[in-house]
């Protein structure tokens, strides 16, 4: 069974790329795949909505075994309903304004603005990280995060081990303490051994992202310089 998290379907930034749903791809693969069980998930907290506090989402299940489906229906029937606000939010997401309706023009304008700003920030973050010494970053092709690799001096790695920390955690805590920027160490994602990363979001407003990245650049270069001199 495939569990497809498709909440970033609106957040595609790479040139020439587009979203393809798992359901569409399964249909295109032919009859041999017609019976594959699939659950596709969507949420109000991503895309252009960003309504993380509304706790609203939905899913579609296809080709589910009837006995399993009966258990699923029993399970969800016994649960409490989501808050009214979450239900209302989901209703507006699945039934957005249509062309010709009174609110369509402003809906389209705001949606395009939000997505265009995220697109700009994805490109900005990618370019800045790749312009810096000691950092490599794949293009932010979609979603709302960058996951740059940091090339740490051996002395920084040794200092982290002396504190019983992973090197990327050591780096991220130093960043938090020095400039107040909170990131997630890559070691929490099962990165390849001997490599170090951190995850950072591109969600803040464009001007805030620019200021944050300027502060980050100063921190990063200072970190490399200071840890290279450790005894």
Q: What is the pTM of this model?
A: 0.86
168 and 209 housed in the same domain: yes
Number of domains in the chain: 2
Q: What is the CATH number of the domain that holds 82?
A: 3.40.640.10
pLDDT in tens, 9-64: 999 999 999 999 999 999 999 999 989 999 999 998 888 888 888 888 899 999 99
On whether the CB atoms of residues 52 and 89 are closer than 8 A, the answer is no
20 and 71 housed in the same domain: yes
Distances (CA, A) of 127 to 103, 123, 135, 168: 37, 6, 11, 21
The residue among 61, 94, 127 that closes a domain is 94
Tell me the sheet residues that pair with 197.
149
Residue 231 pLDDT grade (very low, low, confident, very high; cuts 50, 70, 90)? low
Distances (CA, A) of 24 to 4, 33, 131: 12, 11, 38
- Rounded to whole angstroms, how far apart are CA atoms 58 and 172? 34
Confidence (pLDDT) at 51: 83
166 and 223 housed in the same domain: yes
Residue 102 has pLDDT above 90, yes or no: yes
Query: For residue 73, with 0-12 CB atoms within 10 Å meaning exposed, 13-18 middle and 19 or more buried, which class applies?
Result: exposed
On whether the CB atoms of residues 8 and 46 are closer than 8 A, the answer is yes
| Residue span of the structural domain in which 193 resides | 105-228
Residue 120 pLDDT grade (very low, low, confident, very high; cuts 50, 70, 90)? very high
- Residue 135's closest CA among 85, 195, 79? 195
């Amino acid at each position: 069974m495939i569990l497809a998290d498709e909440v970033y379907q609106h957040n595609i930034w790479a040139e020439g790329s587009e979203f393809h749903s798992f359901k569409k791809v399964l249909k295109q693969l032919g009859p041999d795949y017609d019976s594959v069980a699939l659950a596709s998930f969507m949420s109000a907290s991503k895309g252009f909505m960003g309504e993380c506090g509304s706790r609203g989402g939905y899913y579609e299940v296809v080709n589910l075994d009837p006995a399993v489906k009966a258990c699923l229906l029993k399970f969800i029937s016994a649960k409490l309903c989501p808050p009214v606000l979450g239900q209302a939010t989901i209703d507006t997401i699945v039934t957005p304004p249509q062309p010709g309706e009174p609110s369509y023009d402003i809906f389209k304008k705001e949606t395009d603005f939000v997505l265009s700003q995220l697109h700009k920030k994805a490109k900005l973050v990618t370019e800045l990280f790749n312009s810096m010494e000691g950092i490599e970053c794949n293009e932010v092709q979609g979603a709302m995060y960058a996951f740059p690799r940091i090339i740490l001096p051996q002395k920084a790695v040794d200092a982290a081990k002396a504190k019983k920390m992973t090197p990327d955690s050591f780096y991220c805590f130093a960043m938090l303490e020095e400039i107040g920027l909170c990131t997630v160490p890559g070691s929490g994602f099962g990165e390849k051994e001997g490599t170090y990363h951190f995850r950072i979001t591109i969600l803040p407003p464009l001007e805030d992202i620019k200021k944050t990245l300027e502060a980050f650049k100063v921190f990063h270069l200072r970190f490399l310089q200071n840890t290279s001199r450790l005894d």
